[in-house]
Amino acid sequence: MATQAHSLSYSGCNFLRQRLVLSTLSGRPVKIRKIRARDDNPGLRDFEASFIRLLDKVTNGSRIEINQTGTTLYYQPGLLYGGSMEHDCSVLRSIGYYLESLLCLAPFMKHPLRIVLRGVTNDQVDPSVDVLKATALPLLKQFGIDGESFELKVVRRGMPPGGGGEVFFSCPVRKILKPIQLIDPGKIKRIRGMAYSVRVSPQMANRIVDSARSILNKFIPDIYIYTDHMKGINSGKSPGFGLSLVAETTNGTFLSAELASNPQGQGAAMLPEDLGRNCARLLLEEIYRGGCVDSTNQSLALLLMTLGQQDVSKVLLGPLSPYTIEFLRHLKTFFQIMFKIETKPCGEELKGGDKVLMTCVGIGFSNLSKTLK
């Protein structure tokens, strides 16, 4: 096991998930100091503590030390174990917050992961479960992570502040990942979406669909937006509605956008028509940014490229988000890997914003804990 000498030191509460996930995969311990040290309410928040508990569940032999005020965290990762489990997520953040990290870790477990997550399924901060299902799962399939047991299912919806949603996620394990060459995103061929409403009139979802179509119909005829109205116990504890849109290209790239209504008792009431129109505009902006991976999944794609075989992987991205830029720095410290970054100014054939071509050679990460059959 790695000793205290190899541990990496950080300060501040930013990018906590990135650091802990990369620490778990690389086996290098991390020490994070000054977590909100100057805040009126110092230390780790509930949702971060819940995330650390989740990491503790999926690994075996992790050592986690947190001081009394919660401002310092020492994490020595164990082995990724997997198996069947349940976890109650904090309602301060959505299940997407936890799921994003699980998507990074799940392929490298000892046993296939089967997990039930409970909490908020859709909120205004994190990617919703619907968007991750439509964009992150096809991305993982490109890397060869596929099979019958690969699914993400919304059993119950839960909106903030009450939560009450439930999601089932299962993922097979892989020994090695395939390198990818995602260079040509292709043209948009269809748009799919999901308008959901819980504990409000089911008519809300139809109003969202009509207003979103009023904008998107000008560009493409193949648009289908499903409505999803969950009733009774499946509708969670709080009222709300929202829309997630996904554009699919001719080469199998998925770009997504989403919006959710303001939580009950917070902020002004939102009209479903405005929400639909704004979400359609967000999707158009995401299409303008372009690339083979949308901005929510940039860091997931780069991580899986890093962990691939010792072969060249290339991916064309839109403008890098600040989160992705920080993620690249972390990849350098944890895995000593550097990406070759070439800017592709938008020419005639690449309509939209400037693109970035990311190239790297995988480190040949091999899942040693996978049991041999």
What are the phi and psi torsion angles at 286 (to 5°)? Answer: -65, -40
pLDDT at position 1 over 60: no
In this structure, what token pair is assigned to residue 162?
């009450």
Classify 259 as helix, strand or coil.
strand
From the list 8, 10, 12, the residue with the least C-alpha distance to 26 is 8
Burial 102-120 (b: 16+ CB within 10 A, else e): bbbbbbbbbebbbbbbbbb
164-194 confidence digits (pLDDT tens): 999 999 999 999 999 999 999 999 999 999 9
pTM metric for this prediction: 0.94
DSSP 140-163: HHHTT--STT-EEEEEE--BTTTB
Rg (CA), the chain: 21
Residue 372: the pLDDT is 58
H runs (alpha helix) in 45-148? 46-58, 95-105, 129-142
Residue 338: name the closest of 315, 308, 364, 358 by CA. Answer: 358
Express each pLDDT in 227-258 by its tens digit: 999 999 999 999 999 999 999 999 999 999 99
**Each residue's pLDDT tens digit, 257-303:** 999 999 998 989 899 999 999 999 999 999 999 899 999 999 999 99
C-alpha distances (whole Å) from 292 to each of 180, 210, 298 are: 11, 28, 9
Q: 212: part of which helix (H) or strand (E)? A: helix 203-216
Strand partners, 193: 225, 245
Contact 152, 168 (CB under 8 A): yes
**DSSP state, residue 222:** -
What interhelical angle do 322-335 and 16-26 show, nearest 10?
Answer: 30
